[in-house]
Structure 1
């Protein structure tokens, strides 16, 4: 039987409506949209895109809210529900939440941070392969002459030394209380605008020890001519990347995905992405996509 033209038209409309409804229902299966925030650093922007991209690959609807400002600003956005997830450093976040905390070793920092988090905020696994601690440095010639290889070797001498402090840019900011070395009471501390100025001051003898406020790999020439002292005892507090998020917004599968990210991310990976965004004007989202692809995430 041949349908009249009007009935054939109605049938086509119903087919289109049914397909549209099916797509809409399919989108609802992804649950609520997860908004990942980014502060004012390149690192924060890269982490936001990595987390958002990783969650999107398991079907989560995600968006990134950039340029949220300082730690105070983006934590306020998290508290207000404007964002759901933000990348952080465990040690820096602990220092911000509990100014009296003295914990420095990763497992101790983990426990102390868990106790210090405000009601309604939680963290998942930190990226053990990321070590973004400040680094204690000496002029290479001085380190050889005095046979100083570790922060422990330096500790007995600190009281007679002047420490120079220089920032490593584009990382999530450290609270000022972390620009120090446990067990070292230096005679004086002098700030410098960048690593180049600190290197010159060490070479000229203006200061006898230096502190770079993050991993030198972020600025590859920052430690040229310097010896970076090993710090296996964590005289400088642990600084590992981890996601901070509102309790209840992520399900078990989504948290597991972020834990996979934590298991793969390294200092060198993160430094390379930061340099690409800063120096080559790459887009954070593109760097995150390439990293996720390269790690089958």
Structure 2
């Protein structure tokens, strides 16, 4: 047999040996490319809505995406980000800062963002905060109290806090707010009473059992509306803002994908997000369908 024939035979044998190996490598590489971005969601209606909005927005960049539900607590969220189990999840900037840096005094959205970026665990970044969607606690008084005491804003309330009993109520199905999130700069109430929900707080205000109310979210979550109540403006940022944002594992998203989340932040508003959350919570609406409709309406 000639040398050329021996070489050709050897090459055929080598090809038969390498073929299975190359096939495995090809499948492996394809599998890595197909690995989806995982968006984590907690059990609250707000988290589920934002997870769907983020996931579908990312999918519209061409990325493969899936949602991982059932996250419990911020410690589990950060562990999942650190382990690479999730790439993205939603939260509030003010609450995150309160958890990560208990001594932070940042009052404005810009300051919260600045201090939050310096407090995040290594390997974690955020999208822009949705400054048009502020879920900070709202301070309520009756319209009669507002007129009698000349109160239009949270700042004007401050000097009168020592003579007032305040009621406090969380809003179900929103992100959990640390106690410091409801702190009102320059205001120390005579005492506070905790109520089971927004409706009970509303009733206590109208009945005069408390003179002020601190609701753990926008007034849109008062199912009976704000009739008889005054929602105090907060132009001086006496209460720390609670803007939704995306927590992102560093390196998990490319520039286009991160930019997409920033576009989402620029379109979110308080009333629209509150409506979406209320529909999921109160009507058992599908958060995926709501997210799709919202993204379409905003050209995202």
Query: Is residue 192 of structure 1 aligned with residue 212 of structure 2?
Result: no
Does structure 2 retain, via aligned residues, the 8 Å contact 1:98–1:116?
A: yes
Query: Is residue 93 of structure 1 aligned with residue 86 of structure 2?
Result: no
CA pair 26-218 structure 1, distance change in 2 beyond 3 A: farther
| 1-structure distance, mates of 2:221, 2:64 | 31
Partner of 1:207: 210
Shift of residue 80, structure 1, vs aligned partner: 2.2
Shift of residue 165, structure 1, vs aligned partner: 0.3
Does structure 1 retain, via aligned residues, the 8 Å contact 2:51–2:90?
A: yes
Shift of residue 266, structure 1, vs aligned partner: 0.9
| 1-structure distance, mates of 2:249, 2:137 | 28
Q: Which of 43, 55, 60 lines up with 1:57 in the alignment?
A: 60
Q: Greater CA deviation, 192-201 or 243-252?
A: 192-201
Partner of 2:241: 238
| 1-structure distance, mates of 2:76, 2:278 | 25
Aligned length, in residue pairs: 275
CA pair 276-98 structure 1, distance change in 2 beyond 3 A: same
Q: Which of 125, 134, 140 lines up with 2:128 in the alignment?
A: 125
Partner of 1:9: none
Shift of residue 79, structure 1, vs aligned partner: 2.2
Does structure 2 retain, via aligned residues, the 8 Å contact 1:137–1:211?
A: yes
Does structure 2 retain, via aligned residues, the 8 Å contact 1:94–1:109?
A: yes
Shift of residue 220, structure 1, vs aligned partner: 3.9
| 2-structure distance, mates of 1:195, 1:94 | 25
Residues 132-281 of structure 1 mapped to structure 2, 5 A cutoff? 132-221=135-224, 223-281=226-284
| 2-structure distance, mates of 1:28, 1:38 | 23
| RMSD across aligned positions (CA) | 2.0
Structure 1, unmatched stretches of 5+, are: 1-21
Q: Which of 76, 80, 88 lines up with 2:79 in the alignment?
A: 76
Shift of residue 198, structure 1, vs aligned partner: 1.3
Greater C-alpha Rg: 2
Partner of 2:45: 42
Does structure 2 retain, via aligned residues, the 8 Å contact 1:122–1:247?
A: yes
SS at match of 2:118: helix
Relative to the length of structure 1, the TM-score reads: 0.88
CA pair 58-25 structure 1, distance change in 2 beyond 3 A: farther
Does structure 1 retain, via aligned residues, the 8 Å contact 2:199–2:223?
A: no
| 1-structure distance, mates of 2:277, 2:164 | 33
| 2-structure distance, mates of 1:219, 1:207 | 17
Does structure 1 retain, via aligned residues, the 8 Å contact 2:162–2:188?
A: yes
SS at match of 2:70: coil
Relative to the length of structure 2, the TM-score reads: 0.87
Does structure 2 retain, via aligned residues, the 8 Å contact 1:195–1:223?
A: no
Does structure 2 retain, via aligned residues, the 8 Å contact 1:218–1:274?
A: no
Q: For 1:7-66, what per-residue CA distance to the aligned partner results, in whole angstroms no more than 9, with x for missing partners?
A: xxxxxxxxxxxxxxx9x999876x642100011210000100111100101110100011
Q: For 1:181-239, what per-residue CA distance to the aligned partner results, in whole angstroms no more than 9, with x for missing partners?
A: 11101111110011221122222322111100001213442533210000011111011
